């Protein structure tokens, strides 16, 4: 019997999908399976279950789908508990796949093609789509395309590790036109192969953007036959025209002539990828603390890429302590003090001075050096 004047509210509680909803298997709820068997947190399990429910509405799910067998597959192939949590949190659709039919052939192909088991688990965890792409229509054609350029399986594997996206696209349409552009201007095949291996994403840009990057590198004075051309192309491709111009202007603001800047870029094009804050901080330290002229700093441009806080400043502090005790033969500080390996620096400037420098001072220098590196 209803009461007049009383508002009746109908509350619909969303139904949480269960494993039984997704296959013929009778099992506990999917969220329970994800938390109890796979290690997901309750919140992550609910989100994953919701994603899988949405996916199942638009895709036909095989009656042979058995999430337990999917979990067992990844466990048997060396995936750690944390990797399994990430996999099923980001790609719950894996749970409704048939591992023997969908995953196993691809795992075997990747292992035959030069991937180590540990590398493969990391790649799949970061991009599970490489297990979901078609082996015949996408993965094998991509490998064949890359191998025609790189020749060795291990080099193809190295390129794919740089960008698993190459297994998702048609490389003949995406990468081949850009390779042809480089070949057409005289870039040696050995350089093109190196670019494919270490910076494959550069070659997967749209042909328009890639052409603009090539044009800018040529305008900067790089020769296509120069080994540094591909490194310059990688650096320039990562920033816009406006950003490149702004950074070149910033270098000029330190009193550097344009010809000096371009000359340095030909030796180390990666300096255009430094943030403007990093550029100011590095120049400021070397010019103010060490009293070096900007031309001198720029002639050792690799110094600009070193961490001021963790490398340059700690070593400079040790140098100051030793110099104050007149224990250094060199009359001025040279760039090599910052370019030495950690082991060589400690051996040359700390251990070698230990018999000469009073114990409190050498201990202070060592402690200061280690403390500043950790900040």
Q: Which domain holds residue 359?
A: 306-375
Question: How confident is the model at residue 374, as a pLDDT?
Answer: 57
Residue 222: predicted pLDDT: 94
Q: Is position 323 within any domain?
A: yes
User: CA-to-CA distance for 4 and 25, rounded, in angstroms?
Assistant: 48
pLDDT of residue 353: 64
178 is a domain residue = no
Residue 311 lies in a domain: yes
326 within some domain: yes
How far apart are alpha carbons 270 and 284 in whole angstroms? 19
Chain centre to alpha carbon of residue 96: 30
Token pair of 168, please?
């998702």
Residue 179: inside a domain? no
Angle, in degrees to the nearest 10, between helices 42-58 and 81-90: 50
Q: Report the b/e string of 5-32 with b at 16+ CB within 10 A.
A: eeeeeeeeeeeebbbeebbeeebebbbb
Domain count along the chain? 1
| 53 falls within a domain | no
Tell me how far apart the alpha carbons of residues 133 and 141 are, in angstroms, rounded to a whole number.
Answer: 12
Does residue 368 lie in a domain region? yes
* Whether the Cβ atoms of residue 130 and residue 124 lie closer than 8 Å to each other: yes
Say if 328 falls within a structural domain: yes
Q: Write down the pLDDT at residue 282.
A: 95
Give the C-alpha separation, 294 to 284, whole Å. Answer: 10
- How does pLDDT run along the chain (375 residues), one tens digit per residue? 444 443 343 434 344 444 444 543 333 478 888 999 999 999 998 898 888 877 765 454 444 458 899 999 999 999 999 999 999 999 999 998 899 999 999 999 999 998 999 999 999 999 999 999 999 999 999 999 999 999 999 999 999 999 999 998 999 999 999 999 999 999 999 999 999 999 999 999 999 999 999 999 999 899 999 999 999 999 999 999 899 999 999 999 998 888 888 888 888 999 999 999 999 999 999 999 999 999 999 889 999 999 999 999 999 988 888 888 887 877 788 999 999 998 888 888 877 765 555 444 555 555 555 655 554
Question: What is the model's pLDDT at position 27?
Answer: 35
What pLDDT does 372 receive?
Answer: 52
Close Cβ partners of 43 (under 8 Å, ≥ 6 residues apart): none
């Amino acid at each position: 019997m209803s009461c007049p004047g009383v508002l009746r509210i109908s509350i619909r509680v969303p139904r949480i999908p269960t494993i039984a909803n997704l296959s013929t298997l009778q099992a506990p709820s999917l969220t329970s399976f994800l938390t109890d068997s796979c290690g997901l947190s309750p919140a992550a399990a609910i989100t994953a279950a919701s994603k899988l429910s949405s996916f199942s509405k638009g895709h036909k799910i095989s009656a042979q789908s058995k999430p337990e067998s999917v979990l067992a597959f990844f466990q048997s192939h060396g995936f750690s508990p944390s990797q399994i949590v990430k996999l099923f949190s980001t790609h719950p659709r894996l749970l409704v796949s048939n591992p023997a039919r969908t995953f196993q052939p691809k795992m075997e192909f990747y292992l035959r093609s030069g991937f180590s088991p540990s590398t493969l688990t990391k790649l799949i965890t970061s991009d599970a789509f490489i297990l979901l792409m078609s082996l015949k229509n996408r993965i094998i054609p991509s490998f064949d395309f890359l191998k025609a350029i790189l020749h060795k399986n291990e080099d193809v594997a190295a390129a794919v590790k740089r960008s698993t996206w190459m297994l998702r696209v048609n490389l003949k349409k995406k990468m081949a036109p850009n390779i042809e552009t480089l070949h057409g201007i005289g870039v040696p095949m050995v350089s093109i192969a190196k670019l494919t291996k270490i910076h494959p994403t550069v070659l997967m840009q749209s042909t328009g953007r890639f052409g603009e990057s090539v044009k800018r590198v040529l305008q900067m004075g790089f020769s296509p036959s120069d080994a540094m051309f591909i490194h310059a192309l990688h650096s320039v491709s990562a920033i816009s025209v406006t950003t490149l111009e702004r950074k070149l202007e910033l270098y000029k603001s330190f009193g550097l002539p344009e010809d000096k800047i371009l000359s340095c870029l030909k030796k180390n094009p990666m300096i255009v990828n430094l943030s403007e804050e990093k550029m100011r901080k590095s120049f400021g330290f070397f010019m103010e603390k060490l009293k070096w002229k900007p031309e001198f700093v720029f002639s050792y441009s690799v110094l600009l890429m070193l961490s001021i806080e963790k490398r340059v400043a700690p070593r400079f502090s040790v140098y100051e302590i030793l110099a104050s005790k007149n224990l250094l033969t060199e009359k001025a500080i040279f760039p090599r003090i910052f370019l030495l390996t950690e082991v060589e620096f400690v051996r040359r400037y700390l251990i070698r001075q230990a018999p000469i420098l009073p114990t409190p001072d050498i201990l202070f220098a060592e402690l200061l050096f280690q403390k500043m590196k950790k900040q």
